[in-house]
Amino acid sequence: MKVTVVGAGNVGATCANVLAHKDFLQEVVLLDIKEGVSEGKALDMWETAPINYYSTKLKGITNDYAATAGSNVVVITSGLPRKPGMSRDDLISTNAAIVKSVTANVIKHSPDAVIVIVSNPLDVMTYCAYLTAEVDSRRVFGMAGILDTARYKAFLADEIGCSPKDIQAVLMGGHGDTMVPLPRYTTVGGIPVTELVAEDKLNAIIERTKKGGGEIVNLLGTSAWYAPGAAAAQMVEAICKNEKRIFPCCAWLTGEYGLDKIYLGVPVVLGEKGIEQIIELQLNEAEKALLVESAQHVREVMSVLDNAQVPA
Ligand SMILES: NC(=O)C1=CN([C@@H]2O[C@H](COP(=O)(O)OP(=O)(O)OC[C@H]3O[C@@H](n4cnc5c(N)ncnc54)[C@H](O)[C@@H]3O)[C@@H](O)[C@H]2O)C=CC1
Ligand SMILES: O=C([O-])CC(=O)C(=O)O
């Protein structure tokens, strides 16, 4: 199995590094537009193989898509990250042009690849890649929900004083401040979270989760990479190993949850074909209203893309 990661910046390099350490792939190709960056990072990672005992070969490439040919999965992380004071949506015009040209190159050389988008604004960049790739939507989807639920679980683990391993949770909606963490679908070692965390504390954790990306941006001056890179790698693993894992992913909806023709975070079954099933939860009225509000926000950003003349 061969995986390409486009963008050898913070998230892309972390994703490639995590994938290599998992040691289930033959090759990871890391591609960037900046001369030497992917070559240098791939070489540095490869030099950890004898220390950390893995065999996955790493190859760094500057903008030569022929080297990505025949990839089973391609992760697209190329694009600008935000700085303090910016929203993810502010990145749209620059990143849409990048995602569009990268997707066209990727699909030309790996027409059967499953494509995982990471670039922001996530839901709309995934839509942009889907429009460009012109393949089945089950093969083009985005990473956000695993990251957002990981933040939610990490904050809950701190509050409860338990292992994050024991927390299960569902979070839906767009990858932004309107995301919808779902306490009704959150359990800790099988116990409903509401039996362990007081309502005010739970609400504070939900609010912190929604702004979790911004919290890191304010600390670092750029956005997160360890958790995003690990989250994208977890998706790649589920696809390559045909694991049928259930994850929240940014998927193309065609009527599910009453929403049509929109990319939005929903629980899915992930396997070798990409999104093999979209799971429809029986949301209550309050949860549905939050999801619709989130979808409305994503549609507003989608319309910016639809109305823009994004250069190839
Ligand atoms: N979906 C999510 O949950 C998350 C999304 N992100 C997004 O991921 C993207 C990458 O973030 P970072 O890695 O921190 O940024 P970064 O600046 O460290 O890396 C981006 C890389 O993309 C490369 N690049 C730019 N144009 C390219 C092109 N046409 N072809 C190939 N490579 C190109 C740059 O040279 C750079 O190395 C940003 O848009 C960020 O907002 C970041 C974290 C989480
Ligand atoms: O906050 C950002 O800009 C990057 C991102 O999507 C995240 O870390 O959730």
Does the ipTM surpass 0.85? yes
Q: Indicate if ligand 1 lies below 6 Å from the C-beta of 68.
A: no
pLDDT above 80: residue 284:
yes
If you search the block for the tokens 């800790």, which residue do you land on?
188
Same domain assignment for residues 70 and 168: no
Residue range 54-62: mean pLDDT, rounded = 98
Which tens digits make up the pLDDT trace of 216-264? Answer: 999 999 999 999 999 999 999 999 999 999 999 999 999 999 999 999 9
Q: How far is the CA of 281 from the centre of ligand 1 (A)?
A: 32
Is residue 312 in a domain?
no
Please report the pLDDT score of residue 152 as a whole number.
98
For the annotated catalytic residues, the residue numbers are: 175
Same domain assignment for residues 190 and 129: no
Ligand 2 pocket test, pick from 90, 216, 226 with the greatest ligand atom count within 8 Å of Cβ, gives: 216
Q: Is 9 assigned a ligand-binding role in the annotation?
A: yes
Return the amino acid letter for 29.
Answer: V
What integer best gives the mean pLDDT of the chain? Answer: 97
Please report the pLDDT score of residue 309 as a whole number.
58
Which tens digits make up the pLDDT trace of 83-141? Answer: 999 999 999 999 999 999 999 999 999 999 999 999 999 999 999 999 999 999 999 99
pLDDT above 80: residue 289:
yes
Q: How far is the CA of 232 from the centre of ligand 2 (A)?
A: 13
Distances (CA, A) of 222 to 81, 146, 213, 287, 304: 6, 20, 10, 32, 24
Same domain assignment for residues 10 and 125: yes
Q: Is 154 assigned a ligand-binding role in the annotation?
A: no
The whole-angstrom separation of Cα 277 and Cα 268 is: 5
Same domain assignment for residues 100 and 201: no
Same domain assignment for residues 138 and 242: no
Q: What is the CATH number of the domain that holds 220?
A: 3.90.110.10
Same domain assignment for residues 93 and 151: no
- Residues framing ligand 2 (Cβ under 6 A): 81-82, 88, 120, 147, 175, 213-214, 216-217, 223-224, 228
Question: How sure is the predictor about 306, in pLDDT bands with cuts at 50, 70 and 90?
Answer: confident
Same domain assignment for residues 159 and 98: no
Please report the pLDDT score of residue 110 as a whole number.
98
Same domain assignment for residues 155 and 281: yes
Which of 142, 177, 210 is the C-terminal boundary of a domain? Answer: 142
Please report the pLDDT score of residue 129 as a whole number.
98
Same domain assignment for residues 108 and 175: no
If you search the block for the tokens 């898509």, which residue do you land on?
65
DSSP code at position 173: B
Please report the pLDDT score of residue 38 as a whole number.
98
Count CB neighbours of 211 within 10 A: 15
Range of the domain at 97: 2-142
Same domain assignment for residues 154 and 93: no
Which of 106, 125, 142 is the C-terminal boundary of a domain? Answer: 142
Is residue 223 in a domain?
yes
Same domain assignment for residues 114 and 189: no
Q: Which residues in the chain belong to E strands, given as ranges?
A: 2-6, 27-32, 57-62, 73-76, 114-117, 140-142, 167-172, 180-188, 191-192, 245-254, 260-271, 274-278
pLDDT above 70: residue 312:
no
Distances (CA, A) of 195 to 160, 181, 183, 192, 262: 11, 17, 11, 6, 35
**Strand-strand pairing, 27-32 and 73-76:** unpaired
Question: How sure is the predictor about 310, in pLDDT bands with cuts at 50, 70 and 90?
Answer: low
Domain count for the chain, please give it: 2
Q: Whose CA is nearest to atom 8 of ligand 1?
A: 119
Is residue 242 in a domain?
yes
Q: What is the CATH number of the domain that holds 30?
A: 3.40.50.720
**Strand-strand pairing, 114-117 and 191-192:** unpaired
Please report the pLDDT score of residue 308 as a whole number.
77
Q: Is 70 assigned a ligand-binding role in the annotation?
A: no
Same domain assignment for residues 76 and 25: yes
pLDDT above 80: residue 311:
no
Please report the pLDDT score of residue 307 as a whole number.
85
Which of 126, 142, 158 is the C-terminal boundary of a domain? Answer: 142
Residue range 182-194: mean pLDDT, rounded = 98
Q: What percent of the chain has pLDDT over 90?
A: 97
